[in-house]
Amino acid sequence: MSKTVKVSFVRPGTESRFRTIEVAPGESMLRVAQGAGVDIVATCGARGRCRSCRVKVLKGDIPPPTVQDTVQLGHEEVQERFRLSCQTRVIADCTIMPVPPKTETGHQILGTGAGVASDRVSLDSGVKKHVVSAKAPAEEHHQTSDVEEIVSAVGAAVDPVVPLAVLRRVPQVLRARKGRLTVTTFNQRIIDIEPDDTSSHCYGMAFDIGTTSIVGSLMDLATGEQLAAVGGVNPQAVYGGDLMSRIAYAQFDSKKLTTLRARVLNQINDFIKQACDSAGVSAGHIYKIVIVGNTCMHHIFLGIDTSYVGLAPYAPVEREAIVIPASELPLKSAVNAQVCFLPIVAGFVGADTIAAILATRIYDSDGIRVLVDIGTNGEVVMGSKQKLMACSAPAGPALEGGQIKHGMRGAVGAIQALSITDDVVCDVIGDVPAIGLCGSGLIDAAAKMLDAGVLDAAGRLRRSDMEQLPPAVRARLVGAQGERAFVLARAQEAGKDEDITLTQLDIRQLQFAKGAIYAGICMLQKLMHVVDEQIEELLLCGGFGNYINIDSAVRIRLLPPLPRERLSYVGNAAHLGAQIALLSESERTRAARLARDVEHVALATAPEFQEIFVDACNFSTDAIQIGRARSR
């Protein structure tokens, strides 16, 4: 075997090479692509559990297919030299074509609507603009300086220590308009100085950096008005659809950590420019930025090693609130801003949860309320003004379309809901032919399949008494490549050359994902001695949670069987909480107290959790009774 081999990449649908790299043989095709700067999506984190990283080897020798290749791609594609790039090693010179698993456009990214209502928060952002007239030193015997003259003119209690970047501007600004200038402070510390009166320009931004998506908003700090909203898919997603995948990718590798960090830093910089262009304001007048996210996103953004967050006891490097000048990160699009990170509760209960608690005011409730953020890393908070408990429910990417054979994010072409009567009717985002199934569609499909008798309480696709099903529905139960599956959309009506199916393995992935969320709720109920009847309200938040059918979520036991009026959507509570902390320093201070007071529950270490989780994976309590009967 030679010391190096040449790997060339071509664009899909062409034969033209756009990147060639020499590597040592034995490296996976996925890692070779990432090293060459070629984006190949690895939703499952290179575990061979999805199809997103598939490639076609156009030229050159390749190893025999792995078991994962055959399971995910099928015998036909394997024979046509398709492979999972995460499972296939480079053994010789070869030419590879990355194959996009589907075309996703028009992603559904949930923002916060119009922003914070004016009666929700007192406007005390900590940013103040002081318009003053200061005189430059004029007499040699007078021991003074430009800064001292400016500080004296401000008159308020201002920290005389001025950042170097501001110091460099002082001489010109002080003398530009005969000493008339605007001094901007954040919590009594000077952060900017400008000639003339710029007091009407005082802005901030709030960002929620999620595992799947990033949303942000530009706010007027003086009025609380939302001026612009931005958002999109988190560009780190190509390195894994869940947190553990990204932690594993960068574990003990500073270069890969830098790669992940650069992705999100560049995206935030771009969003700042986009928001300012949309609102017609100068990014130089953004003085405060609040960022929330889970612990992993928080650490990556700051360039902090996440290796030990992924290892027991999963402790974060820092839990306290952090304030950093934007120039140190660097956020080059808003160099005058102070960047505030809300505090963290634990390794997998991050600042986004604290922001959601702020937004929903669950901390001030007389009765028991539950906050459920459904996503790749779900969080559950339960309690009242007496006590709050929180846990992380690692649902994984299935509810976001990951590790599902025809799964995709909520974008144009995704089945988002369906009905089953005499046949299946799909509701597709964008009203176009279906190309896949998103999380809300997955939940709705399972619920409707349960009602139709296609699926049983234990999650098994029907195999007997088929005559009880309508003929058209019965015909949709197929054995796809040796695996049982249910056809949601046939190839001739879909937007791709194959049936859109829900396989038995897909259903198992859904059971594990929804079981984690449901078990988290049950575990907190057990620890707090709370029965369903005592829960006054369950709030469903997050970008994904806002789109699901609540009745379907209850049907499959993703949520507890509460009366419908006690279940409600609250939108992107984490982003709303970030906006609140942006506009109010007293609320940002409250966040620090909440992070200290919330009691974190480590589900994996609780002796009874495994039994609760196994029960929660079933779609109905009927399955539990069936299982007990069989064991006897």
* pLDDT computed for residue 378 by the predictor: 85
The neighbouring-strand residues paired with 34 are: none
Pair (15, 85) in one structural domain: yes
Average pLDDT of the segment spanning 379-407: 89
Whether residue 577 contacts residue 588, with contact meaning beta carbons closer than 8 Å, is answered with no
Among the listed ranges 222-231, 239-248, 420-429, 436-445, which one has the minimum average pLDDT value?
239-248
Task: Choose the final residue of a domain: 56, 72, 98.
Answer: 98
* pLDDT computed for residue 294 by the predictor: 93
* Rounded-to-10 torsion of CA 106, 110, 114, 118: -170
Q: For the chain, what is the domain count? A: 4
Helix axes of 504-528 and 439-452: crossing angle, nearest 10 degrees: 100
Pair (391, 269) in one structural domain: no
Task: Choose the final residue of a domain: 52, 78, 98.
Answer: 98
630 within some domain: no
Domain span at 79: 5-98
* pLDDT computed for residue 625 by the predictor: 45
Residue bearing tokens 């005969």:
178
Phi, psi of 55 (to 5 degrees): -135, 165
Quickly count helices (H) and strands (E) in the chain.
17, 26
The neighbouring-strand residues paired with 369 are: 383, 537
Whether residue 370 is predicted with pLDDT greater than 80 in this model: the reply is yes
Pair (279, 259) in one structural domain: yes
Amino acid 218 reads L
Whether residue 305 contacts residue 225, with contact meaning beta carbons closer than 8 Å, is answered with no
Contacts of 605 (CB under 8 A, 6+ apart): none
Pair (381, 515) in one structural domain: yes
DSSP secondary structure letter of residue 366: S
Among the listed ranges 91-105, 128-142, 260-274, which one has the minimum average pLDDT value?
91-105
* pLDDT computed for residue 478 by the predictor: 93
Average pLDDT of the segment spanning 496-515: 93
Average pLDDT of the segment spanning 492-511: 92
Determine which helix (DSSP H) or strand (DSSP E) holds 493, and give its type and residue range: none
Alpha-carbon gap, residue 393 to 380, rounded angstroms: 7
Distances (CA, A) of 632 to 101, 213, 369, 619: 46, 48, 39, 22
Whether residue 93 contacts residue 6, with contact meaning beta carbons closer than 8 Å, is answered with yes
The neighbouring-strand residues paired with 257 are: none
Q: Kindly report the number of other CB atoms within 10 A of residue 389's CB atom.
A: 18
Provide the CATH number for the domain around residue 55.
3.10.20.30
Average pLDDT of the segment spanning 340-369: 95
Average pLDDT, the chain: 89
* pLDDT computed for residue 111 by the predictor: 53
* pLDDT computed for residue 385 by the predictor: 95
* pLDDT computed for residue 109 by the predictor: 47
Provide the CATH number for the domain around residue 568.
3.30.420.40
Whether residue 36 contacts residue 19, with contact meaning beta carbons closer than 8 Å, is answered with yes
What are the pLDDT digits (tens) for 106-160? 444 445 555 665 456 889 999 999 999 999 998 888 889 999 999 999 987 898 8
pLDDT band at 354, cuts 50/70/90? very high
Task: Choose the final residue of a domain: 505, 523, 546.
Answer: 505
Pair (486, 609) in one structural domain: no
Average pLDDT of the segment spanning 557-561: 95
Pair (295, 443) in one structural domain: no
Provide the CATH number for the domain around residue 211.
3.30.420.480
369 within some domain: yes
Pair (246, 375) in one structural domain: no
Tell me the whole-structure pTM to 2 decimals: 0.84
Pair (392, 424) in one structural domain: no
* pLDDT computed for residue 422 by the predictor: 96
Task: Name the token pair of 429.
Answer: 């985002």
